Structure 1
């Protein structure tokens, strides 16, 4: 990869929507040797408003103009997935590192193209699977690696959500359930975090299969998925995702089973988890989520660019998650 020679990472963002209000962009000005210098959105009124509210000195309505700004030396692509490949190609063409939102792209094939264009341009490619850097998930990995629950046997994902009350009235604005934009539905949006996190814990998923269905017919994308998968280290996993459940059935839990205990945790809840050893339960509550939830991961990107560390989420790992999702939803029924 091309060596990053600047002493400061000066970010330019393509697409400043909701994810940039609190989760990601504000953290760029809180990390040492990192600064947000320019933002872009096609809607001039919205991008001017964002820049004004967040104290960003430059704004653009053209992606080409922002990417070619000589002050910008790293690009954050915070758009929906359908343009991730196109914008990664644009950023790589001028030799600037790429940080792209998740899921990495609509398909595994698009992910591979993104990896290829960045490798040919000798620029690093990072993906916003920020749960890899959150303190409580790092702690879980440490416990797993230390053998806290013995040899890992299985892992099970159970995610149930109810249909949003006003989904139909706002469907036209909800790109997350438009496969042409997102690659799939809420499974691609949410399960991507879960499968990537398990990749962080156990390594690459080598086998995956499953079934998907559109049971409620509220939108075109799948709303129910059942899958099974195997990791390179021999751990076996299953998952059940339903996005048209009832309020009383809502569930967000991953259970990791070892031959000496279990670990339970939500993916999208607070920074908490439960460890069970020899029938004794220990609750971990002392690792709260940061205000800007992407800050630890962005910090690791800055450190890697400046030669001070390594980011745990890159294009190679991000593409593996897209591959697993594609295999799990491949068999559409109903």
Structure 2
């Protein structure tokens, strides 16, 4: 490890979850910043953080901070990430990385200019069961992979002011929930060559349910379903010509899976239990990358992050969702 000193930008629920897992992993959290000094101080007291700042500007200017975790709502990601990069800090940006491909490209380009790490906090990719799945795929155990399917469905408030429904906050099932299965499909099959999307739009104008069908290189197909109106099984499957992988509920968190042959024989079983929620693995990866002098993740390269935002842009174009200001 590099012994990086982490700064937490914002104090919402996801910041609490991430910081708790940083503590589980024994990593150093040097500072927290909020638009409210009272919120920052309460957060710092809860997690034993030495420095509390009443603005994001103060946080990124803190000389004790090496890397900043961006935990604001996604419309603010580009502004917050650029602010941190301009102060010489590496950034781990909550998913979705930004609202669109253009904003993601700005962060990528600024990080490259500064020689700093910019990485999407797609924590699922760094979990032990996903690491093992990529090893199985690389070994050719499944044969030729032909189909990937994954869902992310939750029952969330229908209040139009709720963050997940408010267009001004990038609300909708796609960016908050759909990013997981879309990123998973890209991880396994590569970026899609063709995309078709369908959605049900809520009264607030945001997408309540989204379904996608992607065609990937070689003709492999992926399907995803995301919903903020009902909780489903939340399982995933990778189907190859020689075997399949069945990932159990909840597939995007630490969980179990099986490799199953065409005749139903279980070839391998994996138990993915971990300490905490599992968000520490992306932080450990970020520390390793900084130690290696990398400016992009080897698990999810920054160019892929930007391209995935482009895929989500195309999905939004097809379902007719536009954020305020044409974003």
- Tell me, yes or no, whether TM beats 0.5: yes
> Does 2:240 align with 1:258?
yes
Is this contact kept in 1: 2:40–2:53, CA < 8 A? yes
For residue 206 of structure 1, the aligned residue among 184, 193, 210 is 193
For residue 14 of structure 1, the aligned residue among 3, 9, 20 is 9
Displacement of 1:30 = 5.1
Match of 2:262 in 1: 278
Written as runs of structure 1 = structure 2, the 5 A alignment for 1:14-33 is 14-22=9-17, 24-29=18-23, 31=25
Written as runs of structure 1 = structure 2, the 5 A alignment for 1:210-249 is 210-214=197-201, 216-217=202-203, 219-232=204-217, 234-245=219-230
Written as runs of structure 1 = structure 2, the 5 A alignment for 1:302-317 is 302-307=287-292, 311-317=298-304
Is this contact kept in 2: 1:28–1:295, CA < 8 A? yes
Change (3 A) 1:237 1:303: same
Is this contact kept in 2: 1:15–1:78, CA < 8 A? yes
Match of 2:314 in 1: 327
TM normalised by structure 2 equals 0.87
Structure 1 CA distance for aligned equivalents of residues 284 and 320 of structure 2: 43
Written as runs of structure 1 = structure 2, the 5 A alignment for 1:154-233 is 154-162=147-155, 164=156, 167-168=158-159, 171-172=160-161, 174-182=162-170, 184-214=171-201, 216-217=202-203, 219-232=204-217
Is this contact kept in 1: 2:181–2:224, CA < 8 A? no
Structure 1 CA distance for aligned equivalents of residues 125 and 253 of structure 2: 15
Structure 2 residue ranges without an equivalent (≥5): 322-327
Q: Secondary structure at the match of 2:30?
A: strand
Match of 2:325 in 1: none
User: How many residues are paired up?
Assistant: 316
Displacement of 1:153 = 0.9
Displacement of 1:192 = 0.6
Structure 1 CA distance for aligned equivalents of residues 115 and 253 of structure 2: 37
Structure 1 residue ranges without an equivalent (≥5): 1-5
Please identify, of 260-269 and 290-299, the stretch whose mean Cα deviation from structure 2 is larger. Answer: 260-269
